[in-house]
Amino acid sequence: MTELIVLSLAALGTSLLTFFSGFGLGTILMPVFAIFFPVDLAIALTGVVHFLNNLFKLSLVGLKADKQTVIRFGIPAFLAAIAGAYVLVQVSDLDPLHEYTINDKVYAITPVKLIVAVLLIFFALMEVIPRYKNLQFGKDKLIVGGLLSGFFGGLSGHQGALRSAFLIKSNLSKEAFIATGIVIACIVDFSRLGVYYASLSKGVLTENLTLILAATLSAFAGAYLGSMLLKKVTMRVVQIIVTLMLVVLAVGLGLGIV
């Protein structure tokens, strides 16, 4: 019951925050899942919620996506996401890098937790440090952008920051930019979820179906409220607070506490 309440509230709040904090659903929700599940499973379950929420958004604005950009960016992203997800599956089985004890409780620093922690901090800081927040690339780099965004999307679920950095210079309208990003996000999610599912023990999604549905419906509700009430809201203070929370969670993850 605790997991259900916490994850539902996190999905609702995160989906709502997405409209004015600059952070994506998966970036914040994954560490919350990681409190209750192993990191590789947390990434997979977050990916399901992320994918379903993107499908919901796709039903609203998908037709406005730029087809050429989707092809040039999306195909490399699809392939790279498979590679990233495969790397995640492989490092998940590696032995801990270090173990230590605090108050008779053993904490393990594992490769996958350390990798995800570093990526979490990096992509969180990309959203608030002006030098990186405004990072942009030319339209001729769309294939490179697809490869990078897809790979890190498959490895840790963090694809939005890099995707936006490459798409922002593609001369797309506001509507096309948003829709194109959502279509590509769906492509990456679909690609990586196939690899995750193949590596998970059978029945793991069924066992956590209630949590997935609750988090997904909460995310839908947050997206709806956000689109209705907070479309034009920009609150840098909230953005900084969210960043600090992510950094704290990432440090806990890297140290094996979470």
pLDDT mean over 137-152: 83
Question: What per-residue confidence (pLDDT) applies to 138?
Answer: 63
Domain interval for residue 109: 2-254
| Overall number of domains in the chain | 1
Q: What is the pLDDT of residues 192-236, one digit of tens each?
A: 888 887 777 667 777 888 888 999 999 888 878 876 765 565 556
Q: What is the pLDDT of residues 169-193, one digit of tens each?
A: 777 887 888 888 889 989 998 998 8
Res 29 pLDDT > 70: yes
Question: What per-residue confidence (pLDDT) applies to 22?
Answer: 47
Question: What per-residue confidence (pLDDT) applies to 19?
Answer: 56
pLDDT mean over 68-80: 94
Confidence of residue 243 (pLDDT cuts 50, 70, 90): low
With b meaning 16 or more CB within 10 Å and e meaning fewer, what string describes 108-122? Answer: ebbebbbbbbebbbe
Res 239 pLDDT > 90: no
- For the chain, give the percent of residues with pLDDT over 90: 12
Res 140 pLDDT > 90: no
Look at residue 98 and give its three-state secondary structure: strand
Confidence of residue 98 (pLDDT cuts 50, 70, 90): confident
Question: What per-residue confidence (pLDDT) applies to 198?
Answer: 78
Helix (H) or strand (E) holding 249: helix 236-254
Among 91, 79, 214, CA closest to 150: 79
* CB half-sphere exposure, 22, CA atoms < 13 A: 25
Res 79 pLDDT > 90: yes
pLDDT mean over 79-104: 86
Q: Are 27 and 47 in contact (CB under 8 A)?
A: no
Q: What is the pLDDT of residues 146-172, one digit of tens each?
A: 998 899 888 877 777 778 777 877 778
Q: Could you give the residue ranges of the DSSP H alpha helices within 92-208?
A: 111-126, 130-133, 142-156, 160-167, 174-199, 204-207
Whole-prediction pTM value? 0.71
Confidence of residue 237 (pLDDT cuts 50, 70, 90): low
Question: What per-residue confidence (pLDDT) applies to 236?
Answer: 62
CB neighbour class for 228 (10 Å; exposed up to 12, middle 13-18, buried from 19)? exposed
pLDDT mean over 51-56: 86
With b meaning 16 or more CB within 10 Å and e meaning fewer, what string describes 161-192? Answer: bbbbbbbeebebeeebbbbbbbbbbbbbbebb
**What mean pLDDT is reported for the chain?**
79
